[in-house]
A and B are shown apart, each in its own frame.
Chain A
Amino acid sequence: MAAGIRTSRNGSDVAVVGGGLVGLAVALGIQEKGQQVTIYDEGDIAFRASRGNFGLVWVQGKGDSYPAYANLSRLSARLWGDMAASLEESTGIDLQLSQKGGLFVCLSESELSQRANMLDQMAANHSEGYPFEVLDHQQLKEMVPEIGPEVAGATWGPEDGHVNPLYLMRALLKRFTSLGGKLINSAAINSVQPINGQFHLHSADGRYVSDKVVLAAGLGNKKLASMVGIEAPIFPNRGQVLIAERVKHFLDYPTGHVRQTAEGTIQCGDSKEDVGFDSGTTTDVIADIARRAVTMFPLLKDVRLIRSWGALRIMTPDGHPIYQQSEEFPGAFLVTCHSGVTLAAAHAGPIADWIAEGNPDPVLNLEKFHANRFQV
């Protein structure tokens, strides 16, 4: 589709509903193709998974029973370096990406052996290889001397890493707008109406028209997707994260539960609870997170917690993303996942290409991410 086919003064080629990490990455990828994209976002207070995530670019263990998801995560992790470099160059924002490998620390022997079995299984399912190592306490201690005496060991994934997710968001937005992308963030989109091959978006502030619409509204997708003929069984899953004060650098690698950011702050997470639409924090859960962090790294005992937040993950019944074009209303796309950081490079790359140009890259195995997999 050629740029410049405006359907109305308020219109654009592609409307992206949702200005979180998912929406921004997809929007940037499409805008880079020369199509006019407008992102519609809520204001300052919204459920924001993008502001409340842990910042991991993570591969190990993801998609353990779903090779297509495992492959997508790995593909995105591989594309991440290039995306970060290009964003840094164009925006001047350092994303603090580090992909030197990551650890999943296990407190008990049984947890460690379960995890090792799972990764073994994954390696068996991936003919091209699935790199990981299992480290016992001693091996782990050689790598990370600060590890606590009660830790059984860890699994090591060389493809894992971490990034500053907030700076990622800022850089995506900056790049997007610098390419002429538009952001309208005064009100939530309440409805999408397919009319004569176009899409009419309604918010409290007005009505907007576009040729294509990408639903990347996180939890808001459930309602909107049904308006374009897609059943999206998505639900919230709360994660709570603690942020402690800046300390001098001591931790070289991110772990699944504790990481040190480039600023020196310590992040501890994460929890999974089914609590509905409540993004608050709860004392018992943050205490559990603190306990686990201190068991893993006893030296964190006297480090001060500064902030905590809860954020709502966007879950599907199998935990994997949905990427789907509406069959009933072609031009409407649903993009939803709970790993907007890891998958950002895939979203800005091949997923955006698919939306902009059709013909998905076969490597994506997109049919595996269709929501009809839940209708069995």
Chain B
Amino acid sequence: MNSNQFDLAIIGAGPAGMSAASTAAKQGLKVLLLDEQPRPGGQIYRNIGSPALKDRQILGPDYYYGEKLLTAFSGAGVTYLHGATVWEVTTDNILYVSVKGESRRFEFNKLLIATGAQERPSPFPGWTLPGVMTCGAAQILLKTSGLTPPGPIVIAGSGPLLLLISCQLIRAGIKIDAILDTTPGKNYRSALPEFLGALKGWRFVLKGMRMLSEIRKAGIQQLSGVTGLSADQDESGNLSAVTYYDNKGHQQTLSCSSLLVHQGVIPNSQLTRSLGLAHVWDEVQKCWKPELNKWGQSSHPDILVAGDSAGIGGALAAELQGKLAVFEIVRQRDAGSATSGNNEIEQEKAIQELQQQLVIRPFLDRLYSPAEEFMSPPDETIVCRCEEVTAGEIRSLANDGCRGPNQTKAFCRAGMGPCQGRQCGTTVSSLLASELKASPAQVGYYNIRAPIKPLTLGELATIGNADSNC
């Protein structure tokens, strides 16, 4: 096996990727781990090797737990490339990755996609204004730089991360002017039947209650049932205020310099899509995810998916899924040989732990299902941030006969910009679905093709030219 060939290539060095890498190395696999960020950790354990904040209380133990994973992975003897942007994977087991402006080609026997999640694109009028940022972005700034947004700060949206970033800012002594909770009231009712099940995951429930009480104690204005969210701009085009309807239907405006928004997270499916893997629409999580068996095996025999890119389950679930995917790869390798079945006990234990991790999901997913206004926003709302296409344009194309996102893309450029549809894909599918009275599953998604991240023509031009390199 030459230096460009690996038993297992893993894309993404978050919890799934790190745990898979160290497990696989222990099983004797030659492992390549590729990650786009400069340091391992993924988004959840971003910068875990050199956390910026002096005060460990701010991010709390759940973040620093990542140090354990990092230590295990660092000593495992894995080939790890950071700052490595995978821009193409082919179905015949070849991948191309751009490192420092040069493309390299690797071959793999098995591929584990562990590209994690992205925050759900949740368009509302004014969401493109400078000053509006996702809660995840604010958290990354805490982890990597110890930076906090300028006040007045308003946090708006729905989901566990909304509560978490609020608590973290409170612990850092930062004043939050208001938390606008957009969780629809009906979600409480639809989540209720799942609550008993959720109690089996009592640790999570307790964690959630602790966060809520931390926010209450800080005396922060917290409004539930907020609708009609929009961001307003000043004369220089930056965020100046947020306007919304309170739960009594009265319109309110709050002046602010920072608006942190969040509507949950969705699998990062660009790579799994580009490979043509089968995907399903998850009606509860309101997102697409690859179709997998319980080990994370996709519709391609050599490609597995683990962690949030396989469907949202959180960091601890991701860690276990990474492990399980490797056990499956090893099982396939050893099938029929004397060593087969060696991992069965550990595997069984991981499956049980995973079930325990996921027990809270039905409750969380129902409770934090995004409000309709973020799936199908008002006409004037920009849905494609890159090409500045509005929801109204998508709706009018649906009425002109477009039946899917690839047709609307052709007609109005939504999805053609540098983000390659990452910020509009789910919205456009949802909008079309609601206009055409169909489900997003029927409407479909953008055709995603290489390069799955932009790369220069000059770099692409070197492919196949210099054999030493590519």
Contact = CB atoms under 8 A, between A and B. Distances in A.
A complexed with B: yes
Interface of A: 43-45, 48, 51, 166-167, 169-170, 173-174, 177, 183, 185-186, 242-245, 263, 268, 280-281, 283-284, 286-288, 290-291, 293-294, 300-310
Interface size class on chain B is 35 or more
A305 B463 contact: no
Interface in B41-59: none
11 contacts: A44-B404, A44-B406, A169-B411, A174-B400, A177-B401, A281-B449, A283-B450, A283-B464, A294-B457, A308-B449, A309-B449
B457 A169 contact: no
A243 B454 CA distance: 10
Contacts of B418: 245, 304, 306
B345 interface: no
Interface string B412-429: 110011101000000000
Contacts of A308: 449-451
A283 B420 contact: no
A295 B128 CA distance: 38
Nearest to B103: A287
A286 B401 contact: no
Interface in B221-280: none
B366 interface: no
B347 interface: no
A38 B416 CA distance: 30
Judged by DSSP, the binding face of A is: mixed
Nearest to B412: A170
Contact of B460 (A45, A263, A286, A307): A286
Given A51-B410, A170-B411, A243 B400 contact: no
Contacts of A306: 416-418, 420, 451, 454
B272 to A, nearest CB: 16
A134 B57 CA distance: 73
| Residue of B96, B417, B460 ringed by the most chain A CB atoms within 10 A | B460
Nearest to A268: B457
A26 B457 CA distance: 38
B90 interface: yes
Given A302-B456, A305-B451, A306-B418, A294 B461 contact: yes
Interface string B27-50: 000000000000000000000000
A304 B87 CA distance: 12
A283 B95 CA distance: 10
| Residue of B407, B413, B462, B463 ringed by the most chain A CB atoms within 10 A | B407
Contacts of B411: 166-167, 169-170
Nearest to A287: B463
Contacts of A305: 451, 454-457, 460
B456 A283 contact: no
A219 to B, nearest CB: 17
B465 interface: yes
Interface in B426-451: 443-444, 447, 449-451
A293 B457 contact: yes
Nearest to B413: A263
A290 to B, nearest CB: 4
Contacts of B443: 44
A284 B461 CA distance: 9
A170 B407 CA distance: 10
A267 to B, nearest CB: 12
A28 to B, nearest CB: 14
Interface string B385-400: 0000000000000001
Contact of B401 (A183, A288, A303, A310): A183
